[in-house]
Copies of this chain bind each other. A is one copy, B any other.
Amino acid sequence: MVMHMEPGKRLTVAVAGASGYAGGEVLRVLLNHPHVEIGALTGASNAGTRLGELQPHLLPLADRVLQPTTTDVLAGHDVVFLALPHGASAAVAAELGDDVLVVDLGADHRLLDPAAWERFYGSEHAGTWPYGLPELPLAGGGRLRDRLAGTRRIAVPGCYPTSVSLALAPGFAAGLLEPTDVVVVAASGTSGAGKALKPHLLGSEVMGSMSPYGVGGGHRHTPEIEQNLALAGGTGVSVSFTPTLAPMSRGILATCTARLAAGVSAADVRGAWARAYADEPFVHLLPEGQWPSTAQVHGGNSCVLQLAVDEHAGRVVVVSAIDNLVKGTAGGAVQSVNAALGLPEDTGLSAVGVAP
């Protein structure tokens, strides 16, 4: 049975982990959603605190007080967003039951391959949930959104995998790219690292500075990217992925390069990408000559793309820009919730960025 919104009904929504950046952004997006009533907000060490102290930008919710993250508190809502530490969501979801739409903003249920999970996360795999990247083209035709209709469980993609998979998938889907020697270097704003108090995330350290991390294949988003590209048609794909930390609060700029298969022309390339996203409200291939910036997607649910063929190097370079907290987290999550509930996917979501 596909669960659909009834006309005029308002969904009650709870957010577990409302004090962090992901949880806060879910609330910011939901405040603009016409069919949502915001219910319980929970935190761990912050239970008992006014939201106004933790998320002062959410002025309409300033007087809400965080409750502890228990199933009693979360039960009775139509949708529950989980912004919890790794490993915590499966147990919560089990207790909430199948009539609740549970949306995991964490990584627990993203990977199909338990071995990959265990290699990168070092714990037992909690099982796979439908993956919330609606626009991803699938090798056999269709899109990932087809698997979201009616689901009661959604695994929200990682922010890097969102930006990289949308950038490269059309090429694999169209058979234009070699699966080896894919190289991705991405720059992320610091909110991608969360609100954890770590010395290298202090403002004094990050302003005016760029630095890499998770270099050499160790970043946990690598298997997730490869899984997505394989779904799109990139059999046996291997990706060299290097993330870097950039001096900005939000945004991911992903520079994604792959070798072109023999005989592929620049026109083939542009055509494939243009067709892939022609009807997508949130993925935009820019006119030739215009390149994306993270500023243009700041606060919006868009993924903006541009590409160029480098004939000398035999490669295509695709650059994508997203807001890591919106299209890369909260906006993508709400988009998938809309898909699951049979609502227009763009309900309550805006493609417009806040710039300059």
Contact = CB atoms under 8 A, between A and B. Distances in A.
As for how many copies of this chain the complex holds, the number is 4
Contacts of A315: 181, 183, 240
A278 interface: no
The 5 A-B pairs of least Cβ separation, nearest first, read A216-B308, A57-B353, A209-B295, A203-B206, A185-B185
Interface of A: 21, 24, 28, 31-32, 50, 52-53, 55-60, 62, 180-181, 183, 185, 187, 189-191, 193, 195, 197-199, 201-213, 215-218, 222, 238-240, 242, 244, 246-251, 253, 255, 257, 259, 284, 286-287, 290-300, 302, 304, 306, 308-315, 317, 319, 321, 350-356
6 contacts: A53-B290, A56-B293, A57-B355, A189-B204, A215-B306, A242-B317
Given A209-B251, A246-B187, A315-B240, A310 B56 contact: no
A247 B297 CA distance: 16
Contacts of A215: 291, 306, 308, 317, 319
Nearest to A287: B52
A45 to B, nearest CB: 12
A218 B262 CA distance: 22
Nearest to A252: B210
Contact of A203 (B57, B190, B222): B190
Contacts of A218: 308
